[in-house]
């Protein structure tokens, strides 16, 4: 999905807004190379309650040219 977004859809940037307690989603986006960009208090109302979110992002420049792994992970030898 990330490769398609950059290669086919020609998007420049992807974002994911995730509740801080959602460790599985945070693990997923960080394994794809997304970086923590910021914190948004009271970002979204869920079940009648305002929930804080953390904002993760990746740009097309940060993603590898062949889509096999995020550029920073490939250069450091890390696996995704």
Long-range contacts of 49-52 (CB under 8 A, 24+ apart): 51/19, 52/19, 52/20
Q: What is the CATH number of the domain that holds 43?
A: 3.40.630.30
The structural domain count of the chain equals 1
> The domain containing residue 45 runs over which residues?
2-76
15 and 5 in contact (C-beta within 8 Å)? no
Distance CA(70)–CA(26), nearest Å, equals: 16
pLDDT of residue 5: 87
Distance CA(74)–CA(54), nearest Å, equals: 25
Residue 11: pLDDT band by 50, 70, 90 thresholds? Answer: confident
Distance CA(38)–CA(54), nearest Å, equals: 6
Q: What is the pLDDT of residues 17-75, one digit of tens each?
A: 999 999 999 999 999 999 999 999 999 999 999 999 999 999 999 987 555 556 555 44
pLDDT of residue 80: 35
pLDDT of residue 72: 55
pLDDT of residue 67: 54
79, pLDDT greater than 50: no
């Amino acid at each position: 999905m990330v490769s398609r977004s950059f290669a086919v859809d020609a998007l420049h940037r992807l974002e994911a807004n995730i509740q801080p307690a959602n460790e599985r989603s945070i693990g997923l986006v960080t394994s794809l190379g997304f970086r923590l960009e910021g914190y948004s208090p009271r970002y979204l109302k869920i079940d009648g309650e305002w929930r804080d979110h953390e904002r993760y992002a990746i740009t097309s420049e940060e993603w590898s040219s062949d889509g096999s792994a995020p550029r920073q992970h490939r250069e450091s030898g890390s696996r995704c």
